[in-house]
Amino acid sequence: DESVTVLELSQAMGKTVTDIIKKLMQLGVLATINQEIDADTASILAADWGITVEVKKSVTAEEILAEEPDETDEDLIHRPPVVTVMGHVDHGKTSLLDAIRETNVIASEAGGITQHIGAYQVEIDGKKITFLDTPGHEAFTAMRARGAQVTDIAVLVVAADDGVMPQTVEAINHAKAAGVPIVVAINKIDKPDATPDRVKQELTEYGLVVEEWGGDTITVPVSAKARQNIDQLLEMILLVAEVQDLKANPERAARGTVIEAQLDKGRGPVATVLVQKGTLNIGDVIVAGTAVGKVRAMVDDKGRRVKKADPSMPVEVLGLSDVPQAGDTFSVVTEEKLAKQVISERVNKRKEEEQKRTSKVSLDDLFKQI
């Protein structure tokens, strides 16, 4: 559906409009000056003068934004793994996330006030791990549904006194579908009725064969409550991350995903974002979903003001015009015009999708009535 008018064609080829119209008549096409000529006809016509026509696709602002800079392996450096904790309700996801955060805070910075910004980083042996602080499958699936792949490793929490349950299976399936390796935390081993071996047995039914039985699934027995084996779990996560060889280029415009966002009474729209590529700096203009803004301030998971955020780092960002949605991507833009175009394209796309949904609903309703 690429086309050009007779006038545009004459200007591009350095021929008069009359020349073009005459040629078109020879081809059996009756045309006026403002007539749209399709690319095929234009090519045939131009070939007569020995001119080749190059058809350029119209590029959307979204496509321009998606363009990646050229980079070589030398531009890439290791980045921390991003970990999601999943598992059946009450098996200890929240407790484990708390235990990991607290163990690490005590070890590294006594008295440090932790912020709940939707994600946090811990450090062990000088290596960082990023945890998404939104346990449950909703966040994971919501983000995946929006096309955002943020997780590198899934920690599957299974209570040793309860075993594999429906949401455990669901979590295994989600992780497998996303191609994300699983580290199993067999939790609540402090309980007298804990039977970790039974958990391992049940896991084999879902294709997760533990290492001591010849498989490659790493399991770590832990107690979130008694703060047992938390460090071992972190070490195992780092081991898996090392195999994955996770890398990113810090020297480019930042890109990433919105983890959560809300409207703060005093501070306006506040978004916790995970930087996945590049480095985000104060003063950068970002587009996040259909929101835009200059990064006014950034706050890390320890409540500290920071000037930059590098790959795999979660930060709260202030300065957006609007509240984006969890799972929206964000990108730094150098031209405000491009930002505006991208947003208008996204708004239109959302409207179209909304219309499709409502028209589908009314059709379905119609059929129901019949």
**Is residue 94 a contact residue for Mg ion (CB under 5 A)?**
yes
Residue 256's identity, in one-letter code, is G
Give residues with Cβ within 8 angstroms of 177, minimum separation 6. Answer: none
Strands annotated E in the chain: 3-5, 36-38, 77-78, 82-87, 119-124, 127-132, 153-159, 182-187, 218-221, 247-248, 255-264, 268-277, 280-281, 285-288, 291-299, 305-306, 308-309, 314-320, 329-333
Ligand-binding annotation for 94, yes or no, is: yes
Chain position whose Cβ is nearest to Mg ion: 94
> Which one of residues 93, 174, 255, 277 is an interface residue with ligand GDP (CB under 6 A)?
93
Ligand-binding annotation for 197, yes or no, is: no
Q: Is residue 37 a contact partner of residue 51, using CB atoms and an 8 Å limit?
A: no
Least CB distance from residue 216 to Mg ion, whole Å? 28
DSSP state, 311? T
- Please, which residue, 135 or 278, has the CB nearer to ligand GDP? 135
- Please, which residue, 116 or 349, has the CB nearer to Mg ion? 116
**Is residue 190 a contact residue for ligand GDP (CB under 6 A)?**
yes
Ligand-binding annotation for 72, yes or no, is: no
Least CB distance from residue 91 to Mg ion, whole Å? 9
The one segment of 71-79, 88-96, 272-280, 349-357 that binds Mg ion by CB under 5 A: 88-96
DSSP string, 131-171: EE---SHHHHHHHHHTT----SEEEEEEETTT-S-HHHHHH
Residue 187 binds: one of Mg ion, ligand GDP, none (C-beta under 5 to 8 A by kind): ligand GDP
Please give the Cα distance from 298 to 314 (Å, whole number).
10
Least CB distance from residue 258 to Mg ion, whole Å? 21
**Is residue 167 a contact residue for Mg ion (CB under 5 A)?**
no
- Please, which residue, 3 or 94, has the CB nearer to Mg ion? 94
**Is residue 310 a contact residue for ligand GDP (CB under 6 A)?**
no
Q: Which positions from 194 through 233 interact with ligand GDP, judged by CB under 6 A?
A: 223-225
Q: Helices in 49-162 by DSSP H: which ranges?
A: 61-66, 93-108, 137-145
Please give the Cα distance from 240 to 262 (Å, whole number).
33
Enumerate binding residues for Mg ion (CB under 5 A): 93-94, 135
Residue ranges of the binding site: 87-94, 133-137, 187-190
Enumerate binding residues for ligand GDP (CB under 6 A): 87, 89-95, 135, 187-188, 190-191, 223-225
